[in-house]
Structure 1
Amino acid sequence: MTDIREYLAHKPLLFDGGMGTYYKAAPGVECELANLTDPEGVKRVHAEYLAAGAQAIKTNTFGLPRMAAAQMPGWEELAEAGWKLACDAAAEKDAAVFADLGPALDTEAAPASSAYGLAAQQFAALGAKNFLFETLSSDVGVVEAVKALRVAVPDAFIMVSFAVLPDGYTREGLLFRDLLHRMEGSGVVDAVGLNCVSAPGAMKKLVQGLGETRLPLSVMPNAGYPVVTRARVLYQGKPEYFAREMGQIAAAGVRILGGCCGTTPAHIAALRAELDALPRQTGAAPAAKLSTVAAPEVEKDDAFLRKLDKGEKVIAIELDSPRVADLSGYLDGARRLQAAGADLLTIADCPIAQARMDSSLVACRVHRELGMCALPHMTCRDRNLNATKALLLGLYAEGVREVLAITGDPIPTAERDEVKNVYQFNSRKLAQYIVSLAGEGREMPSPMTVFGALNLNARNFDVELRRAVEKLENGMAGFLTQPVLSAQAVENLRKARQTLGERAKILAGIMPVVSQRNAIFMENEINGIHVEEDIIQRFAGLDREQGEALGLEVSMQMAREALPYADGFYLMTPFNRVALMERLIARLRTELLDAEG
């Protein structure tokens, strides 16, 4: 075929459809292995798509990067066989062949860049000139691999395609527009696009909202959404509908089109007819521009954030939501803490994976009824991307402007058979996702402020600090720390301030110990808490009143030592003892914060 760049200057390039779903419509081995076990079957699928009108086909090697990363025996032979089968089929129609590379996992032991690089260089050695990195949910490792590929094949045509939900976000919470801009900015990618997950109608809306782009766009949707029938997954989108929607996408200026899961040769044939009926273009028309209707004014921050931004020391206090459906007592406690001088109420999200009233719903109620700033904790444990987004939009609409993003404790072992963890992303990716929801043309008029957790009691605090830096890079504004109950925790807080600088707001954790039994339990059974032995021994033999009194003294001592390195305090209420925390807030205000002011 003519050089891809020259071809695109004159007319759209039509790809094939979903090799995997079409080949596996009949019982058989996994798709990539068929390059060796059923070469004629693979070549026949290529031929059917070419006969339907495709001018470019993908090698049957979608899983190759993961195979290469795992050093699966024989992966190089699979690549070579897949390349030869596609080339043989394409030669009869003078069609282009793209080395197809699906997503790779990214781990410390096997970085994604290495997996992509191994697979891409294997194809480069076979003579490949065109490469497609597809169905990606992140761009981690892609640019590094492409830059290395450019050295081996300077004139390569390289496409990168992301799999996004109908709202434009990948399963890792990354917005396609941001990914596209990063690909454009890399200077080494020739085209960028969308494929898989969404149907053509959803992709059309995404394309219409992109505005002008510098790189050619590629769109390869699924043929509708999957329906599971017994052991089979079926896509019921009709070829005529697929072709009509894709024709409108082409008319908007998209020059590279094709299909993904569920798209058969019949879908490609219908799209071929639709494209042939379009007026001839000599250049890529810009995509439709997003509407810029002014959004109504909304409250973009709250009193807590304004105080924090002005450099005033703040007090946040955690009060666990109830285990029952009665919130009256909880609201009374929150009201008392507010009157005592707390600036913010934080609500844990089912701590230690035990069900309590939803932290976000409680935060909305507190904000609405008390006018108090609230910080719901949001874990990655219980919600997928859709549920998380729905909750965030509701929080914003209710005036809640900050959240604490944490990974979350796993479900206890005994309950895992019935209650499953989700963990679709970690706290860093969750923070990046939350921040990405705000901006022109996006879901939120202004960004929510995202805080994270900082474990001052981590055994390897240098690793914890590196993670904190990554959290800041992913959009977090600051941290709430684990309780300061040791000299080492104070020293680690000092190191955190030195490393993170003033850009990170740090609230030092203060949790009153109320008895020796309480101290021993925290030391031995609560992850992330360390109580020095001399503190534990000081509580020996004390009754409740004496224990609370000593707990206040220890808390004040820790607060004094932490204050030079903190922007305020994060108080944790033991056993919902609101009266104790009222006393602690009063002393913090009068003895430390007011005196400092």
Structure 2
Amino acid sequence: MNRIKQWIEQGPLLVDGGMGTYFSSKEHLPGSGCEMASIEKPVLISAIHREYLEAGARVIKTNTFAANRPTYRHTETVRRIIRASWNLAVRAAAPFGAEVFADIGPVTGLPPAAAAREYRFIVEEFLSLGAENFLFETNADDTGLDEAAAYIRSKAEDPFLAASFAVLPDGYTRSGIFGEDLIRDLTARGNFDAVGFNCVSGVRQMARLLEDMDLEGVTLSIMPNAGYPTVVGNRTFYDSDPVYFGRGLAEIAARGASIIGGCCGTTPAHIAAAREELTKKSRDLRSAPGRSRSEALAAGEEEDRVPESPFFEKLRAGEMPVAVELDPPETADVRKYMDGAARLAAAGCDLLTIADCPVARARMDSTLLACRVKRDLGMETIPHLTCRDRNLNATKALLLGLSAEGLRNVLVITGDPIPTAERDEVKSVYQFNSRKMAAFIRGLGRKSFPVPFHVFGALNLNARNFDVELRIAREKVEAGMVGFFTQPVLSRRALENLKQARRTLQPAGAYIIGGIIPVVSQRNALFMENEINGIHVSQEIIRRYEGLDRDAAEALALELSVKIARDMAPFIDGYYLMTPFGRTKLMARIIAGIRG
């Protein structure tokens, strides 16, 4: 039986601390990669391993965190680093009877298939050297991990595989995925023996994080930082006292962590302090774990339920609600906008949707405007949230505010790119795509909101390759989206794609809110056909507007919109009307036509 598996059955297993930061402190260097030191300064790397072992670590990690081709470019260079690092670690561990983890950091900047191939390349190098124990650490998601683990298990007789995710103190990775979800999903798939967290958070933040999670039955690996970093003169320092760190780490072990160690800023002194505290604590003195949220629910102590979304309730009841999109104003004067919104509410609009800076041009913030409409008019709203302009922190802060304001629905889209001519002045932020943001919001819902948001997405019925669009839509449903607002139907092809979407997405439980935009002139039709991405207007419709004045064109818009609504009705769960040029009177007539 693998020795690490035997050891963790006997009690918490202590691993070494942060090689990179300790190396940098010894060399008086900025915090940068130290993997080449296994080749260039082997005596120093061996000495660091030995210090950690003398401090009490029973497992050390190879000096290979960033040993991958995206970082070091050349295949042979990576192979040399892995070989040298492995040999140094094995030789250092042998006199102490210790074990070695093949340490593999995240492979970033590659698409999933390429990342999986890179992990396999790294794993093959370690396997050729006799590695049996692997640690995949500091990950933001699980891309490529299962593939790498399955490959190791196909080649090694009895390996020990651990994976660790870097989470902020609120429990989310930089990819916006909730750490508890990552741990549970990876554990459920059965390829890893231990799963847990490392880096970013200090020992106390990590302990509080674990208190809020329900991870019963998981073999946990926990390796915090030595507190928060301080940058002085381009160098990074961690000031956490070793005794403080050791006590906190021992408490984490007492709460059930099977593998413990240190990450950035931890030194042999921190590991020695942890070893001393572990020897003081018996497992009988383990602190009582905090109750999970599910236990609080069972005890009836959870907060009173707050109102649900009337729009979503109508969707669920099959009542075909009507949502209307009204673009936010370009100035701070909202009087005209509020008048138009009130007109739509009076006409029977169930939900007002508000775009988020359409075509990447600044307008009034969709979320603030949504709150204003809800407060002043009592009208339910759904703001669009683009992935373009907010990072993880800004997104979470915004969602907390929206929840407090009583909003229950959001429409998540990637967002139009910044026009080329403005990119030197206006910078895009794309920490998320729409699937990652949906998963982030879903994860937040269990911890941060009295009622989780209903997350909707966009579905382009006019996509050139609609099979790909549907595949992505299914991935969005898996990420937590409950339904889709579609691009407008203005052609037979779009209607056929809508039928296909119904067949594909209805079994997955996703609602479809069918898009309708009234064409108000031939010029408008030509503009949408030629210049608006995601909209296709048939030539038949374009020809019908030839020579019409405004009144006649609006009459035709009403006729066509009502007809399209009736054609799509068997394949949708609600209507999504898009207001052209602020013409809310026309939209009120269309709502009446659909309702009639």
Match of 2:52 among 38, 49, 52: 49
**Does the CA-based 8 Å contact 1:66-1:103 persist in structure 2?**
no
The letter for the 2-side match of 1:119 is I
- 1:443 equivalent in alignment to 2:448: yes
For 2:251, the equivalent position in structure 1 comes to 248
Task: Provide Cα deviations, 1:435-478, integer angstroms capped at 9, x if missing partner.
Answer: 22233xx2224332111100011111111011111111211111
Q: Where do residues 24-103 of structure 1 align in structure 2 (5 Å cutoff)?
A: 24-25=24-25, 26-27=28-29, 30-64=33-67, 67=70, 72-103=75-106
Task: Provide Cα deviations, 1:390-420, integer angstroms capped at 9, x if missing partner.
Answer: 2222222222111111111122223323332
CA drift of 1:486 comes to 1.3
Match of 1:166 among 169, 180, 198: 169
Task: Provide Cα deviations, 1:351-399, integer angstroms capped at 9, x if missing partner.
Answer: 1111222211222222222222211111111111122122222222222
For 1:259, the equivalent position in structure 2 comes to 262
CA drift of 1:164 comes to 0.8
**Does the CA-based 8 Å contact 1:65-1:103 persist in structure 2?**
no
Q: Which of 285-294 and 37-46 deviates more? A: 285-294
The letter for the 2-side match of 1:437 is L
The letter for the 2-side match of 1:208 is E
Q: Where do residues 102-181 of structure 1 align in structure 2 (5 Å cutoff)?
A: 102-105=105-108, 110-181=113-184
Match of 1:321 among 325, 328, 344: 328
Match of 2:224 among 199, 221, 226: 221
Structure 1 residues 359, 184: closer, same or farther in 2, change over 3 A? Answer: same
**Does the CA-based 8 Å contact 1:36-1:81 persist in structure 2?**
yes
Structure 1 residues 125, 405: closer, same or farther in 2, change over 3 A? Answer: same
Inter-partner Cα distance in structure 2 for 1:525 and 1:235: 54
Identity of aligned residues (%): 54
For 1:595, the equivalent position in structure 2 comes to none
Structure 1 residues 66, 464: closer, same or farther in 2, change over 3 A? Answer: farther
Inter-partner Cα distance in structure 2 for 1:232 and 1:587: 68
SS at 1:550 equivalent: helix
The letter for the 2-side match of 1:253 is G
CA drift of 1:510 comes to 0.9
For 2:523, the equivalent position in structure 1 comes to 517
CA drift of 1:227 comes to 3.0
Structure 1 residues 263, 416: closer, same or farther in 2, change over 3 A? Answer: farther
SS at 1:173 equivalent: coil
For 1:475, the equivalent position in structure 2 comes to 480
Match of 1:526 among 532, 540, 553: 532
The letter for the 2-side match of 1:549 is A
Inter-partner Cα distance in structure 2 for 1:39 and 1:67: 23
The letter for the 1-side match of 2:58 is Q
TM-score, normalised on structure 1?
0.92
CA drift of 1:284 comes to 8.9
Structure 1 residues 300, 169: closer, same or farther in 2, change over 3 A? Answer: farther
For 1:422, the equivalent position in structure 2 comes to 429
Match of 1:197 among 193, 200, 204: 200
Which runs of 5 or more structure 2 residues have no equivalent in the other structure? none
The letter for the 1-side match of 2:483 is G
For 1:463, the equivalent position in structure 2 comes to 468
For 2:356, the equivalent position in structure 1 comes to 349
- 1:388 equivalent in alignment to 2:390: no
**Does the CA-based 8 Å contact 2:2-2:160 persist in structure 1?**
no
**Does the CA-based 8 Å contact 2:387-2:433 persist in structure 1?**
yes
Match of 2:304 among 297, 302, 308: 297
What is the RMSD computed on CA atoms of the aligned residues? 2.5
CA drift of 1:278 comes to 2.4
Match of 1:309 among 303, 309, 316: 316
Inter-partner Cα distance in structure 1 for 2:68 and 2:188: 24
**Does the CA-based 8 Å contact 2:180-2:215 persist in structure 1?**
no
Q: How many residues align?
A: 587
- 1:363 equivalent in alignment to 2:374: no
Structure 1 residues 532, 231: closer, same or farther in 2, change over 3 A? Answer: farther
SS at 2:225 equivalent: coil
CA drift of 1:69 comes to 11
Inter-partner Cα distance in structure 1 for 2:564 and 2:74: 52
TM-score, normalised on structure 2?
0.92
Task: Provide Cα deviations, 1:516-543, integer angstroms capped at 9, x if missing partner.
Answer: 2222222222211112233233333333
**Does the CA-based 8 Å contact 1:212-1:286 persist in structure 2?**
no
Q: Which of 402-411 and 559-568 deviates more? A: 559-568
**Does the CA-based 8 Å contact 2:220-2:258 persist in structure 1?**
yes
Inter-partner Cα distance in structure 2 for 1:574 and 1:460: 27
Which runs of 5 or more structure 1 residues have no equivalent in the other structure? 591-597
Inter-partner Cα distance in structure 2 for 1:238 and 1:530: 64
CA drift of 1:111 comes to 4.3
**Does the CA-based 8 Å contact 2:306-2:450 persist in structure 1?**
no
Inter-partner Cα distance in structure 2 for 1:302 and 1:565: 23
Inter-partner Cα distance in structure 2 for 1:438 and 1:385: 15
Inter-partner Cα distance in structure 1 for 2:112 and 2:292: 42
SS at 1:74 equivalent: helix
Structure 1 residues 328, 561: closer, same or farther in 2, change over 3 A? Answer: same
Structure 1 residues 55, 520: closer, same or farther in 2, change over 3 A? Answer: same
SS at 1:574 equivalent: coil
SS at 2:367 equivalent: helix
Task: Provide Cα deviations, 1:157-186, integer angstroms capped at 9, x if missing partner.
Answer: 111111111111212222222222223322
Inter-partner Cα distance in structure 2 for 1:304 and 1:136: 38
CA drift of 1:139 comes to 2.0
